[in-house]
Structure 1
Amino acid sequence: MSTTQSERLRELLEPLVTSQGLDLEEIAVDSVGRKRVLRVVVDSDTGADLDQIADVSRALSARLDDTDAMGNGEYTLEVGTPGAERALTEHRHYVRATDRLVKFQLREGGELVARILAVDEDGLDVEVPGVKGRKATTRRLAFPDIDKARVQVEFSRKDKKDMKEEEEA
């Protein structure tokens, strides 16, 4: 059974990432001209701050220097987080996206933009925003019914504290 370079790198690097209290979300090796770039994406339930990213980057760099996992050629190591509009592919991603607005591509066709309210082992409860003065509605989505899901960026979302203050006024 043959393993790809990404799989070998995951086996080598994942224990280091986990020891730093983070999850290894993605590994990609890309060629940019004559250079190679190793991109490592990490995250956790509470997010990853710059100090954690720096620590894990140093640990990964040291481990890669001690092995021939990247071969003899030059490469650049880039360590980062998934970003604002991350794709949701694992159960933990949905849990981390609770209270976030998500665009769902449904298996039976069609799209749905809704806010994740709760996540369990079978699926999620979402709130579909009301349109043209209508109230928001809740809906249940089972994981098998979801083809793709991606967090949406919200520029003017009010936090719960602001909404509560408006209701009391």
Structure 2
Amino acid sequence: MNLEELEKLLQGCGVALYDTEVANENGRQIYRVYITKSGGVSLDDCETVSKLLSPIYDVMPPVSGDWILEVSSPGLERKLSKIDHFAKSIGEMAKITLNDKSQIIGKITSVNGDDIALSSDEGSLSLNFNDIKKAKTFIQW
């Protein structure tokens, strides 16, 4: 099943696909499906999606070998790996590492094409998505 098909299935459950990833933890391969929903994701949402996907993935595994399906919310502090992630995070604080290893912390103010505008202590700045090595939202406590 491709990501477009997965997105359509999740829409039927009242949630949206945020991202997927494959992780190896304690010698186990985990296929994670991160979902979002206006107002927040509940345990019932995760259970509903898991029950929907399990039989499909039993027939068409998303990864090879032994693996475990995990469905969850991306959380308050989440990875920003797609331009769409930035667009959905406007108004939130982000910690960004650029390809040159410099770091920027600021509030995402807008996204236009591949350009991401931030407001930081140094003022407003614009970054190109392709210059970003990694990024995540974060909460200031």
Normalising by structure 2, report the TM-score.
Answer: 0.74
Higher normalized helix content (fraction of residues): 1
| Aligned counterparts of 1:149 and 1:68: Cα–Cα separation in 2 | 31
Gaps of 5+ in 1: 1-7, 130-135, 156-169
- Which structure carries more relative contact order (alpha carbon 8 Å, separation 6+)? 2
Looking at secondary structure, tell me which structure has more strand per residue.
2
1:146 paired residue number: 132
Question: Take 2:4 and 2:24, find their aligned partners in 1: how far apart are those partners?
Answer: 18
TM, length-normalised to structure 1:
0.64
Post-superposition offset of 1:152:
1.6
Aligned length: 139
Alpha-carbon distance change, 27 to 128 in structure 1, aligned in 2, over 3 angstroms: closer
Find the counterpart in structure 2 of residue 23 from structure 1: 17
Aligned to 1:39: 32
CA distance in 1, matches of 2:47, 2:61: 21
1:107-118 to structure 2, matched below 5 A, reads 107-118=99-110
Give yes or no for contact 1:22–1:48 (8 Å, CA) kept in 2: no
Give % identity. Answer: 26
Q: Is the 8 A contact 1:29 1:37 kept in 2?
A: yes
Q: Which runs of no fewer than 5 residues in structure 2 stay unpaired?
A: none
Structure number with bigger Rg: 1
Contact residue 28 and residue 40 of structure 1 kept, 8 A: no
